[in-house]
Amino acid sequence: MKALFPPGHCRTPFYIRGKRGRILDLVDVEPDPEERAYGRSGLPAVPVWRVVFDQHELWPDYRGPDRDRVVVGIFEPWLEPLEDGG
């Protein structure tokens, strides 16, 4: 996840920015809400991916089991590939 922190309407939650996750599936293509929020069309539509984040990746002090995870819908521009292609 890109570690960017802009003002304005954004549907990428703070807690996952800069974090590593695994792509689960493609949900849909949707008009970009960051543009729609200001009355613009948000087109061309943007792919939305469901990304899985292990809780232990998100929170250094997470005390639950390793398999606990959070799944978040991410608009593609917010994704960046890992150097190792993972």
Partner 1 sequence: MSHDHEPDHDHGHLGHGHDHESHGHPPGQRHPFQPDLEDGPYSWHMALTDAVADLLLAKGLITADELRRTLEDIDSKSPALGARLVARAWVDPAFKARLLADVNAAAAELGIDAGPIPIRAVECKPGEHHVIVCTLCSCYPRLLLGPAPDWYKARAYRSRVVREPRAVLAEFGLELDPEVAVIVHDSTAELRFMVLPERPAGTEGWDEERLAALVTRDCLIGVARPTVPPA
Partner 2 sequence: MRRHHDMGGLPAGPVERSEHEHAPWEKKVDAILRLLVAKKIMTLDELRRGIEELGPGAYDELSYFERWIRSIANILLEKGVVTVRELALAIEAAEARRAAAEACPKTVAAP
Interacting residue ranges for partner 2, rule: CB under 8 A: 5, 7-10, 13-15, 33, 36-39, 42, 58-59
Question: Hey, is 78 helix, strand or coil?
Answer: helix
CA 51, chain centre distance (Å) = 6
Partner that binds at residue 24, options partner 2, partner 1, none, CB closer than 5 to 8 Å by kind: none
Member of 65, 81, 85, 86 binding partner 1 (CB under 8 A):
65
User: Shortest approach of partner 2 to residue 33 CB, angstroms?
Assistant: 4
Residue 54, CA distances (Å) to 22, 28, 34 in order = 9, 23, 26
